[in-house]
Chain A
Amino acid sequence: GQQLNQSPQSMFIQEGEDVSMNCTSSSIFNTWLWYKQDPGEGPVLLIALYKAGELTSNGRLTAQFGITRKDSFLNISASIPSDVGIYFCAGLSNTGTASKLTFGTGTRLQVTL
């Protein structure tokens, strides 16, 4: 099935550094979501974006819904070791009564001390 393009695929950063990752799609979405997944667990919601151009923060996380509705980015400021994990973007399609998420390919983040 379709998966959104996320970049970078993986990144190694030092504690305290800022991180930026993005997600692009060939399709328009009405809602963009960012999730974090740790090994053996399900994805955990970080941020939800509902309007084109919207910029939303959640603690050290900031995400934006692209103007074209075909992209989104996530920034993490001052990274800490517990930020390690896989980050997924997801676009929500609403067609009539149907509603489903299309996920990105994931960005694996590793933080070194």
Chain B
Amino acid sequence: GAGVSQTPSNKVTEKGKYVELRCDPISGHTALYWYRQSLGQGPEFLIYFQGTGAADDSGLPNDRFFAVRPEGSVSTLKIQRTERGDSAVYLCASSPGGNQPQHFGDGTRLSIL
């Protein structure tokens, strides 16, 4: 499709496990963003990539969270030693860069039991 694609759409796992969430941005978009949305809240910024490099990772809550974008297209958000508080919808967005609008995927709903 032409939009931002995120997989899986849902992920349920046990506390302490490792998870990977994938984002496939709109073709040609150089900027890629990860946000986290808790129930009843607006999305909150996690990390922003311009090309392959993380231009701003100030939103990552702690060192259990890490993200990569090795070829400047697909990105993976990795969470180690998951905790129940990590349960949320993880949204990915992409844009052509600069102040161009960000377009969002449908998110991965992560549930930590």
Contacts and interface: CB of A to CB of B under 8 A. Distances in A.
Interface of A: 1, 3-4, 30-31, 33, 35, 40-45, 48, 50, 88, 90, 92, 94, 97-106
A42 B35 CA distance: 11
B43 A103 contact: yes
Given A100-B33, A101-B33, A42 B104 contact: yes
Interface of B: 4, 31, 33, 35, 40-45, 48, 50, 55-56, 59, 91, 93, 95, 97-99, 101-107
A94 to B, nearest CB: 6
B42 A88 contact: yes
Contacts of A103: 35, 42-44
A86 B98 CA distance: 26
A97 B50 contact: yes
A37 B50 CA distance: 25
A98 B55 contact: yes
A42 B91 contact: yes
A105 B99 contact: no
A40 B106 contact: yes
A104 B42 contact: yes
A105 B107 contact: no
Given A1-B45, A104-B42, A99 B104 contact: no
Nearest to B61: A1
